[in-house]
Amino acid sequence: MIVPEFDYLTPQTLNEACALLGEYGSRAKVLAGGSDLVVKMKNGLLKPDYIVSLKNLQDLKGIRYEAGTGVIIGARTTHNRVVENEILRERFPSVSAAAGTMAAYQVRNIGTIGGNLVNAVPSADMPPILIALSAKARIVGLSGERLVDLEEFFLGPGKTVLNQDEILAEIIIPDQATTGSSYIKFGLRRAGSLAVAGVASSVMMDGEMAEDVRIVLGAVAPTPLRAREAEAVLRGKKVSQELIEQAGKIAAAESKPITDIRGSAEYRRHLVDVLTRRTLKTAIEKGHV
């Protein structure tokens, strides 16, 4: 439970930060809220020689709306800001609600949305809903910046598309009319528990028709997983209880859960079924205008 020694660096600009990361390579680690990083360091799982703190990069903080683009969330925005933010509550209340399922109040005061994404654990609560809403990551590195679909962002547990010199700057949730969305986390207590399974759904409605559907499963595969076959059940169809039930079953079959101390693979698969149905229902109701 001792944090190993390291040099603490506090770049003033994003460029400077990328330069430091480029220079020190795998010996450096970015620090946002530290609620993942410091825990790993204390447990001896990580021993970075350099900590590159983002604390002076004010641009990475905050939530704003840009017409034509959507809602833009700075990577350093803490979960409690996401929970409380008026723009999000109005436009994407499911994102605020998902942030509210994270950890506990105290951890939500320090943990950031960027840290949650880059940390890339399979049970993370923010990726499913953001992927369901087709969010994009704005990534900045030494050679400039790029936009990546969040869906393409995750490569495996703890692995993302970020290069060593890159920093996740912003998350962009594009405008999407008549779309309802919902995330349900199934945890084993009401605070401070990781998802046994989590499902996010978004449905773009056209009258009674589900014009587009995205179902994203968390904690049941090495990365957040789109249940594409389940989506197809509903896409372009008139929604019905039968189709929702069918989608739940198919999503369960698409999931690739493991058994661990939080739950068996069988139970997780069952939860995917239940949560898919429940999130779809809510999304459809909210998508109706």
Report the residue from 18, 77, 97, 111 that binds ligand FAD according to the rule CB under 6 A: 111
Task: Return d(Cα 262, Cα 65) in angstroms, integer.
Answer: 38
Closest separation between CB of residue 223 and other proteins, Å?
Answer: 21
DSSP per-residue letters across the chain: --PPP-EEE--SSHHHHHHHHHHHGGGEEEESS-TTHHHHHHTTS---SEEEE-TT-GGGS-EEEETTTEEEEETT-BHHHHHH-HHHHHH-HHHHHHHHTSS-HHHHTT-BHHHHHHH--TT-SHHHHHHHTT-EEEEEETTEEEEEEHHHHEEETTEES--TT-EEEEEEE---TTEEEEEEEE-SSSSS---SEEEEEEEEEETTEEEEEEEEEESSSSS-EE-HHHHHHHTTEE--HHHHHHHHHHHHHH-----BTTB-HHHHHHHHHHHHHHHHHHHHHHH--
- Cβ-based nearer residue to other proteins, 130 or 217: 217
212: contact with ligand FAD by CB under 6 A: no
The 3-class SS string of 260-276 reads ECCECHHHHHHHHHHHH
Closest separation between CB of residue 18 and other proteins, Å?
Answer: 32
Q: Which residues would be at the binding site for other proteins (CB under 8 A)?
A: 1-2, 104, 186, 188-194, 261-264, 267, 270-271, 274
28: contact with ligand FAD by CB under 6 A: no
57: contact with ligand FAD by CB under 6 A: no
Closest separation between CB of residue 164 and other proteins, Å?
Answer: 28
Q: From the list other proteins, ligand FAD, none, which binds 171 (C-beta under 5 to 8 Å, kind-based)?
A: none
Q: From the list other proteins, ligand FAD, none, which binds 186 (C-beta under 5 to 8 Å, kind-based)?
A: other proteins
Closest separation between CB of residue 245 and ligand FAD, Å?
Answer: 28
Task: Return d(Cα 223, Cα 128) in angstroms, integer.
Answer: 10
Closest separation between CB of residue 76 and ligand FAD, Å?
Answer: 6
Task: Return d(Cα 230, Cα 244) in angstroms, integer.
Answer: 9
Q: From the list ligand FAD, other proteins, none, which binds 189 (C-beta under 5 to 8 Å, kind-based)?
A: other proteins
Q: From the list ligand FAD, other proteins, none, which binds 177 (C-beta under 5 to 8 Å, kind-based)?
A: none
Task: Return d(Cα 243, Cα 13) in angstroms, integer.
Answer: 51
156: contact with ligand FAD by CB under 6 A: no
Closest separation between CB of residue 160 and ligand FAD, Å?
Answer: 8
114: contact with ligand FAD by CB under 6 A: yes
Closest separation between CB of residue 189 and other proteins, Å?
Answer: 5
Report the residue from 97, 135, 167, 217 that binds ligand FAD according to the rule CB under 6 A: 167
207: contact with ligand FAD by CB under 6 A: no
* Residue bearing tokens 């229902």: 281
95: contact with ligand FAD by CB under 6 A: no
Interface contacts to ligand FAD, rule CB under 6 A: 29-37, 39, 54, 75, 102-103, 107, 110-112, 114-116, 118-119, 124-125, 162, 167-168, 192, 194
